[in-house]
Structure 1
Amino acid sequence: MNSPPHSGPVRIGVLGASSIAWRRTLPALLDAADSTVVAVASREREKAERFAARFGCAAVHGYESLLERDDIDAVYVSVPNSLHHPWVRRLLMRDKHVLAEKPLTTRPADTAALIGLAAERGLVLRENIAFVHHGLHRRVAELVEGGRIGRLRHIDAAFCFPPLPGTDVRYRADLGGGALLDAGLYPVRLAQYFLGDELTVAGAVLRDDPVSGVDVAGSAVLAASTGETVTLSFGFEHGYGARYTLWGSTGRLCVDRAFTPPPAMAPVVRIEEQDHAEEITLPAEHQFAASASSFVAAVLRSRPLGSDPGHGEWARTALRTAELLDGIATSAHRVTAGRRD
């Protein structure tokens, strides 16, 4: 049975003391209105204490101990990918709202199961894909819808960065590592942002690391039900790049630093036509703060527990993302990568 909801600020627990939690998400959750970070749980006591000292909350040794606390309304989950499904499920069964790092799970069936469970229990479940909350992309969508580049025909998008340390969890196949789930998710979700969820995988290539067994790079082609096409690239064996180009019937629109802009960076949209080019500078925004605030607001809207948290559209998109990533993985032609350096 659902427990009575807390009426004050959303009390947040953190499951997993990760780098992204330290650098981006916890500072954003601390700054979000109507929320407070109560505790951070790690399997390493020293790490939990280091996080607790910085963020002014309790240190919890072990994930199980966090589940036992009755002073938490929602949990931010930042553990390795393969652990998302079991831990998010346990949290939902304890009537905790969940903000999970991407990808929500490593399999579409598990994503569907968690979405169904959250809906059944009237809980908010979100995947922390921060870039979709940045106003840059809303402005680009407005420009495209306004005919600024004519009829949209094609999207090309990429998110790549240099090799990681050999001990990085993203080289662990048993923990859901690999470039597709880590970096490839971004251009896939971008394609959904502009073209909707009715996309299919037309072809793909993945480069597998012979040492770790995970994919370290890849490319894919998607097709929209309305005729547009998408080419996307991703990986962590490249120089850094995070960009996309929307190609229309009368011009092109280009965006750089598209997925991970620093909070103080004013993004630039470049529009290129046959005999004209212009740049539009947009306001800087903190996309992690926007993602955190969106989650907290959804939790507040869900009170009392069991009311509709408005997850329908988000759930459909999250499930389709999982299905597209799985489609790329299962249909890809695989090649062997060279040395990481």
Structure 2
Amino acid sequence: MRVLAAMSGGVDSAVAAARAVEAGHDVTGVHLALSKNPQTYRTGARGCCTIEDSRDARRAADVIGIPFYVWDMAERFHEDVVEDFYAEYANGRTPNPCLRCNEKIKFAAVLDRAVALGFDAVATGHYARKGEDGLLRRGVDPGKDQSYVLAVLTPAQLAHSLFPLGDTPKDLVRAEAEERGLAVARKPDSHDICFIADGDTSGFLKNRLGSKDGEIVDSATGEVLGSHDGSHQFTVGQRHGLGLKRPAADGRPRYVLSITPVDNRVEVGPREALRVDRIRTGRPVWLAAERTGDFDAQVQLRAHGEVYPAVVTADAHGLTAVLRKPAYGVAPGQALVVYDPDAEHGDAVLASGTIDTADAAAPVEAAGV
């Protein structure tokens, strides 16, 4: 096959490209330029698309012996990822920009261009697998599994995707990179949001969304406990950085329970008030055969987060998941990813949806979960 290897400049995508070559594919490497102003990128290996990363990707392609190009995706990235990030926070939601980048850039814009140029597939360094049935499955390294952030892919996109690292633990990938002579073998993993140069998310949002004085209030009594200069600086479940005037009467910490952008109001309360066991999403993306009605499943609410047995109801409006055990601090805007609970296919992704609401409901008993 003709394969386009997306090379971020990290160890994972470099080894993935090398494995694609070793598998006999005709491979071309590409690095995505995502910033309109590259000089604003942070230095060092804290992000996933810095100037240094571009140079590292080119050097890796030279060692592997494949053609290498840089594609300018800055405008598309800004529109589909950065602007979405602003809009979600402005509406009191907490987005996952890496998930949005996979959905809109790496497996939409890039894949569309790749297919138009005659490539058969795009290979990435994600830790996930494709089963013989074509379904997306967890990577074998549970600490690195990235099926959650890939669950936004459509079946058609998944059919044109390759994940060469899904069957390998991360430490063995690094060892392989050293054996192949790749200079990125010991390069640290990226963790920060790549388009926030200094890692200051609050400051980044304030620069765009501005400042507006608002109140932080006790959810139970309505008492004003503090003030802030923009509700977009908070997320549901947040504990630190609240700047409250005095501690709770019982001495326990307070958490953000809700955000109301219309009146710039942030409500706080005890951890118990964060308990949810019913989660609703908008229209889902189905990676497996679409289902209707109730079915048993396992759901994940955060990347690398806990997995919850649940009863999921699918209808024309979206998904409703009733958890068999409560979760805490679930924020609208995050993704709910549904996995098959069957023992044989328990790591297969069925669907995903963006969370609209999360609240407490009576637990539902369901056999087989």
**Same topology, TM > 0.5:** no
When you count helix as a share of all residues, which structure comes out higher? 1
Could you state the TM-score of these two structures normalised by the residue count of structure 2?
A: 0.28
Of the two structures, which has the highest relative contact order with CA contacts closer than 8 Å and spacing of 6 or more? 1
